[in-house]
Amino acid sequence: MKTTKAVSLADELVRQLERQIDSGELPPGSRFPTEKAITDSAGVSRTVVREAFARLAARGLLESRRGSGAYVPAAARYRAFQVTPEEMQEVEDVIKLLEIRMALETEMAALAAERRTEADIATLRECLDRMAEGGDVEASVDADAAFHAAIARATQNDYYSRFMDFLGIRLVPRRAVYLRDQSDVAHRSYAKAIQRDHEGIFTAIEAGDPVAARRAARRHMQKSLERHRRMKDEAEAGPLD
């Protein structure tokens, strides 16, 4: 899976406009340059500009006013750091998120093991049972996200739950990214591997063992990282002659 030129150009334009917003060059309330002005100055097509504007709007950094143009919202300076669904379309983006989650999830699991309540254990078990049903892929992914959110709540530290929301961690990387063009057998095998990892984390948290919980969470995240890095390497290598 290779990144198209248009996507790459849109990425760069988004970064450029974000830097201008963060630096104050484009302060809250200011008007963005017109599409034509950007196409002329950046040397990109209107399609690229519109894609960049759509991404900025999704991040709360651009608002359109009918008949007037695009503006930087007043709340842009107070924006919370988050990862949007639009940013989780490529393997490279998923890898970046997983690298952040590596540190977050390991300590979160350890704290959950120390502080979890019986209600937390029941919620985690319910999430695992829903994942094990394995009937509907999206339902299973939703249960996966709920499992990680439940671990955050089990820390009894509200900042973990809030940071998870800001980071977009509830958007557990969609299996459609890793399993694109894969068979049903691959889907089932992947689901079973994830289920085993989650069972290991749950067992450690239920036992109140922070060392084992930290180790199980790290192992889970490391395996996920390795899978996606292999996929990225294979995509970059291209087909064999």
Last residue of a domain, one of 78, 109, 134: 78
Instruction: Name the average pLDDT for the chain.
Output: 83
Q: Where are the alpha helices (DSSP H) in 30-179?
A: 35-42, 46-58, 91-115, 118-133, 137-154, 158-167, 175-178
Task: Tell me: do 90 and 54 sit in the same domain.
Answer: no
Mark whether 101 and 62 lie in a shared domain.
no
Q: For the chain, how many structural domains are there in total?
A: 2
Q: Tell me the residue range of the domain where 40 lies.
A: 5-78
Tell me the pLDDT tens digit for each residue of 26-58.
999 999 999 999 999 999 999 999 999 999 998
Evaluate the CA torsion angle 37, 41, 45, 50 in order and state its sign: negative
Alpha-carbon distance of 52 to 17, in angstroms, equals 9
Question: Is residue 110 domain-shared with residue 171, that is, in the same domain?
Answer: yes
Please return the burial class of 1, using the count of CB atoms within 10 Å of its CB with bins 0-12, 13-18 and 19+.
Answer: middle
Give the range with max mean pLDDT: 8-22, 207-221, 223-237. 207-221
191 in the same domain as 158: yes
Q: Identify the weakest region by mean pLDDT among 15-19, 80-84, 117-121, 224-228.
A: 80-84
Per-residue confidence (pLDDT) for residue 170, from 0 to 100: 47
**92 lies in the same domain as 36:** no
pLDDT, one tens digit per residue, over 155-188 is: 999 999 888 776 655 455 555 555 555 556 666 7
Instruction: Please say which residue of 78, 93, 117 terminates a domain.
Output: 78
Highest average pLDDT, of 18-22, 136-140, 194-198, comes from 194-198
From 28, 49, 78, the end of a domain falls on 78
Q: Above 80 in pLDDT, residue 123?
A: yes
Write out the two tokens for 160.
Answer: 């973990």
**Is 130 in the same domain as 200?**
yes
For residues 162 and 109, the model is more confident at 109
Q: At what angle do helices 46-58 and 5-23 cross, to 10 degrees?
A: 50
Regarding whether 150 and 94 lie in a shared domain, the answer is yes
